[in-house]
Amino acid sequence: MSFSICVAQCTDSLAATMDDQARIMQSIGGVSLAGHSVQGGMALPPPHGHDGTDGDGRKQDIGDILHQIMTITDQSLDEAQAKKHGLNCHRMKPALFSVLCEIKEKTGLSIRGAQEEDPPDPQLMRLDNMLLAEGVAGPEKGGGSAAAAAAAAASGGAADNSIEHSDYRAKLTQIRQIYHTELEKYEQACNEFTTHVMNLLREQSRTRPISPKEIERMVGIIHRKFSSIQMQLKQSTCEAVMILRSRFLDARRKRRNFSKQATEILNEYFYSHLSNPYPSEEAKEELAKKCSITVSQVSNWFGNKRIRYKKNIGKFQEEANLYAAKTAVNAAHAAAAAVQNSQANSPTTPNSGFQMKDEEFQLDSAESKNTLLSNMFTGSSGSFNLPNSGDMFLSMQSLNGDSYQGAQVGANVQSQVDTLRHVISQTAGYNDALGGNAMYSPHGLNANGGWQDATTSSSVISPTEGPGSVHSDTSN
């Protein structure tokens, strides 16, 4: 709503209020006072010196008076001033004035007090609170950023959220500025209008009885009118903020596919932990960091993946194979490199009963890998599970596209294992390290359709039964 319309509305309302008063006065004025008609609260003098006792003459007088009133706007300012002066100086004026005051005192009681001391409007309070909460009203510092932050938190806080964030803040600031500008305008207009009406009433109080209390009441009416306009402004502002907020929050539904790299990282983790694809909080954080996404997005991704995998295992086999092969090759490369290192360094660290989880295999330091691999390939009698081997093999399918069948997968796993074994044996003289009989639970899913318990994860496989178990005594 434009400011001018609001002011116009206010003026209209005020005019209506004043009209009401005028009507009241007019109804009072219907009484003839000592031969003088009272119109609109204004005591009028007997025109042309007529005493007004005669009936026809009185009618004529009233006609003249009405004519005068109707044509008063046609008169020049000087003329009008002169007339006004005449009225003020009329000998009957004080008497009429006191009578008018008396009448007004009696009738005005019903008007007075009717609208005094309004309780605070709950709607207005609600709007005020909301504007404060949204950072539109109140102190500027941090205004809106808290709301934006809350919205951002709800949206998951992705990397590019900061852009939307600042966008939101900028728009909120814009709304805030408009709101304050309009509010200022309203206040200014209210003050101007109040002053104007007060002056007018003070001026009029010379010709009609207007007490200071009445002026006060009128000021109150004006203020109420303006505050109702203010409420409309606040309502509009709230609506604007709501729209902005909903748009901003809706943006979270606007999904963007994760990057290819991120999807790969997540898939790698998923398929290498297929027996128990429930990353710990730390793992989630790590994955989130690697993928440049949030932890909750990682959780979402795993939630979706688990469900979708479970629903359609066959469909994911190819993917599973790809990632399993990829992991195997990576592991083989790592092993080969490490073996070379170990040969160069020729450490012979004793090892017994060594088992390694896939997370543990991802050792950062070359030294750790060296130690690990030297354990694998030296004469110690320990055993180890190939990195990711347990989980990896669970999901393996024939690379030549056969459908998923437990036994078949076993064979396919074997072929993968053979490849891996070949790679390793070529580099370290390692032979037959990987047992041939792959015992697995398809996809890590148990009979109930749930994933195996973490403790039964194939990443921890006993040397005697695990498919990926490596008996160090077979090496060399």
Q: Are 272 and 327 in contact (CB under 8 A)?
A: yes
Residue 306 as a binder of DNA (CB under 7 A): the answer is: yes
Determine the 3-state secondary structure of 70 from DSSP.
helix
Q: Which is nearer to DNA, 182 or 391 (CB)?
A: 391
Per-residue binding string, DNA, 132-161, x by CB under 7 A, is ----------------------xxx-x---
Minimum CB distance to DNA smaller for 214 or for 319: 319
Mutual orientation of helices 281-291 and 260-272 as an angle, nearest 10°?
150
Other CB atoms within 10 Å distance of the CB of residue 462: 10
Q: What is the DSSP string of 328-356?
A: HHHHHHHHHHHHHHHHHH-------S---
* Dist. CA 191–CA 204, nearest whole Å: 20
Q: Interface residues for DNA in 406-465 (CB under 7 A)?
A: 449-451
Q: Which of 179, 193, 258, 404 binds DNA (CB under 7 A)?
A: 258
Distance of closest approach, residue 3 Cβ to DNA, in angstroms: 36
**Cβ 331 to DNA shortest distance, Å:** 25
Q: 278-297 mask for DNA (x: CB under 7 A)? A: x--x---------------x
Q: By CB under 7 A, is residue 271 in contact with DNA?
A: no
Kindly tell me which of 155 and 472 has the beta carbon lying closer to DNA: 155
248 contributes a contact to DNA by CB under 7 A: no
Closest CA to 143 of 173, 188, 181, 177: 173
CA 286 to chain centre: 28
Identity of the residue, 81 or 304, whose beta carbon is nearer to DNA in the bound complex: 304
Span near DNA by CB under 7 A; candidates 220-228, 304-312, 373-381, 385-393: 304-312
Among 253, 365, 407, 455, binds DNA (CB under 7 A): 253
Check if the beta carbon of residue 11 is closer than 8 Å to that of residue 189.
no
Strand, coil or helix: 449: coil
By CB under 7 A, residue 1 contacts DNA: no
Within 10 angstroms of residue 399's Cβ, the number of other Cβ atoms is: 15
Minimal distance, residue 114 CB to DNA, in Å = 48
The total number of residues written for the chain in this structure: 476
Of 302 and 430, the one with the shorter C-beta distance to DNA is 302
Question: Could you tell me the end-to-end alpha-carbon distance of the chain, in angstroms, rounded to an integer?
Answer: 89
Nearest Cα neighbor of 430 from 335, 360, 349 is: 335
Residues at the contact surface with DNA, assessed by CB under 7 A = 154-156, 158, 250, 252-258, 263, 278, 281, 297, 299-304, 306-308, 310, 315, 449-451
